[in-house]
Amino acid sequence: MTLAAQLLDWYYKNARDLPWRKDKDAYKIWVSEIMLQQTRVEVVKDYYKRWMDRFPTLEILAQASEQEVLNYWQGLGYYSRARHLLSGVREVCLEYGGKVPDNPATIQRLPGVGEYTAGAIASIAYNRAAPAVDGNVLRIFSRLFCLDGDIAKSATKREIDRLIRQHIPSQCPGDFNQALMDLGAMICIPRRPRCQLCPLTNLCEAYAREVQDTLPVRATKKAPQLIVLAAAVVLRDGKYLVRQRTKAGLLAGMWEFPAIEVVEDEVAVERLKEELWNELRQAVCIKEKMSHYLHTFSHRKWDISFYQCEWLAGDDLTDKACWLSASELSTVPWAGPHYKVALLLGQKAVK
DNA sequence: AAAACGGGGTG
DNA sequence: CACCCAGTTTT
């Protein structure tokens, strides 16, 4: 028995029943793979179903607005994934006649699609013998072959990609890749792997040496940088003042209550008042702090305070800001903790 | 090669 | 609280 045969025997008895495994539609595989990047399966399930109710085909998604797409992505994180997916399906409509290409290299040219996702789509939707090396595969192979290189480094990834190519079966590469996902999710898990249930222990070098708990090796990430912010909640005639973040960078294109970064020991409320006047031409009187949140991103930590403000006077707003009623707060995608305040103020349905 | 890019679950 | 998750793009 080969590694692939042992793995597939196990997979055909134990495969998870997942919403995106109902058929091999390349668009559906694509959406699921993008949602699953750095995101847990359990979280993706509901988003995926909601998404397919609204955007059941590639053509329907291609016609949607970016704001609506971002709204459906709200809470999933890494929002560039949604923007890339939208531009990607539009590209497929225009350049490939609405059919997702079947060649891994061609698929990888689509925005938001890297080596992993291209391999996953090609192997699962089209049965092409392409590897799909994700976190699960890195973990499983680092244990199988006792590789102690940092799996965050490209050298280690190249080494594992090479090993995969020696084991991927040409008949059913998609099942092989998905079997590795399931093995990594259910058996060869990050901490305390369930080796007694594993179909590959007879091949596993780490198991033989009893070092499976020490692998894979991953360098520890540095602590996120602390950013102190102050945000203004301005109410005028039943509507709230909101603005859109810039097109690039963190939470690009998402909406927020006007906010500033508080540097050193500046007086937050004074700077906030100046910002509203300088940037939005609104005169306000800052009242009491209404809420305070600590919000940690992968690389940054926000300490953000929301201040209730009384509107005094102001010009009409220009392009990137507007007044929204409480019920309209649910119509825009929100930036991080601003979503919690929008929920508080509006009637946005809890997901 | 390293940093940017989100949010939530888990032990 | 540290760590992790079906990674990709930019620097």
pLDDT given for residue A312 in this prediction: 97
Query: Both A163 and A297 in a single domain?
Result: no
CA distance A348 to A138: 40
Same domain? For A50 and A129 the reply is yes
What pLDDT is stored for residue A232 in this prediction?
98
Structural domain includes residue A220: no
CA distances from A338 to A92, A244, A255, A281, A305 (A): 34, 12, 8, 22, 10
Mean pLDDT, residues A2-14:
97
- Give the mean model confidence (pLDDT) for residues A277-290: 96
Query: Is residue A351 a part of any domain in this protein?
Result: no
| Structural domain that includes position A34 | 3-214
* Closest nucleotide to A138, Cα to C1': C6
**Quick count: other Cβ atoms within 10 Å of Cβ A121?**
29
* Confidence at A351, pLDDT banded by 50, 70, 90: very low
Measured between alpha carbons, how far is A109 from A313 in angstroms, rounded to an integer?
A: 50
Residue A349 has pLDDT above 60, yes or no: no
Phi-psi region of A342 (alpha: psi -120 to 50; beta: other; left: phi over 0): alpha
Among the three residues A188, A214, A240, which one is the final residue of a domain in this structure? Answer: A214
Cα–Cα distance for residue pair A89/A184, rounded to 1 Å: 30
Q: Is the pLDDT of residue A80 over 90?
A: yes
pLDDT at A266: 80
Domain boundary among A214, A248, A282: A214
Beta strands in chain A (DSSP E): 225-236, 239-244, 255-256, 259-261, 282-296, 300-314, 321-325
Q: For A39, what's the count of Cα atoms within 13 Å in the CB-facing half-sphere?
A: 21
CA distance A339 to A329: 9
CATH code (residue A298):
3.90.79.10
Residue A297, CA: closest nucleotide via C1'? B6
Per-residue b or e along A229-259, where b marks 16 or more CB atoms closer than 10 Å to that residue's CB? bbbbbbbbeebbbbbbbeeeeebebbbbbbb
pLDDT beyond 80 at A348: no
> Which residues lie across from A139 on neighbouring strands?
none
Same domain, A85 and A196: yes
Rounded mean pLDDT of A153-163? 93
- Kindly report which amino acid residue has its CA closest to the C1' atom of nucleotide C6: A36
Q: What is the mean pLDDT of residues A1-12?
A: 97
Tens-place pLDDT, residues A92-136: 999 999 999 999 999 999 999 999 999 999 999 999 999 999 999
Question: Does a structural domain hold residue A297?
Answer: yes
Residue A94: half-sphere exposure toward Cβ, Cα within 13 Å: 9
Is there a contact between A30 and A41 (Cβ–Cβ < 8 Å)?
no
Same domain? A196 vs A257: no
Q: What does the alpha-carbon distance between residue A4 and residue A8 come to, in Å, rounded to a whole number?
A: 6
Q: Which residue is nearest to nucleotide B7 (CA to C1')?
A: A77
DSSP A253: T
**By percentage, how much of chain A surpasses pLDDT 70?**
99
Backbone dihedral region for residue A97 (phi beyond 0: left; psi -120 to 50: alpha; all else: beta) = left
On whether residue A311 sits in a domain, the answer given is yes
DSSP structural state of residue A195: G
Asked if residue A219 belongs to a domain, the reply is no
Instruction: Determine the angle formed by the axes of helices A41-54 and A26-36, rounding to 10 degrees.
Output: 140
pLDDT at A264: 81
Closest residue (Cα, C1') to C7: A37
Residues 6+ away with beta carbon under 8 Å from A250: A297, A300
Instruction: Indicate if the pLDDT at residue A332 is higher than 50.
Output: yes
For A298 and C5, how far is CA from C1' in angstroms? 12
pLDDT value of position A26: 98
pLDDT of residue A347: 64
Number of domains in chain A: 2
Please indicate, yes or no, whether residues A270 and A330 belong to a single structural domain of this protein.
Answer: yes
A336 lies in some domain: yes
Q: Residue A221 — very low, low, confident or very high, per pLDDT cuts 50/70/90? A: confident
> Active-site positions of A?
33
pLDDT band at A350 (very low <50, low <70, confident <90, very high): very low
Calpha distance A314→A120 (Å, rounded): 53
Residue A67 backbone class (left: φ over 0; alpha: ψ -120 to 50; beta: rest) = alpha
How far does the CA of A319 sit from the C1' of C6, in Å?
38
Residue A176 located in a structural domain: yes
In whole angstroms, give the CA distance from residue A8 to residue A173. 10
Question: Is residue A199 domain-shared with residue A286, that is, in the same domain?
Answer: no
Q: How confident is the model at residue A346 (pLDDT cuts 50, 70, 90)?
A: confident
For A244-280, the pLDDT digits (tens) are: 999 999 999 999 999 999 988 788 899 999 999 999 9
Q: Return the CATH number at A48.
A: 1.10.340.30
Average pLDDT in chain A: 95
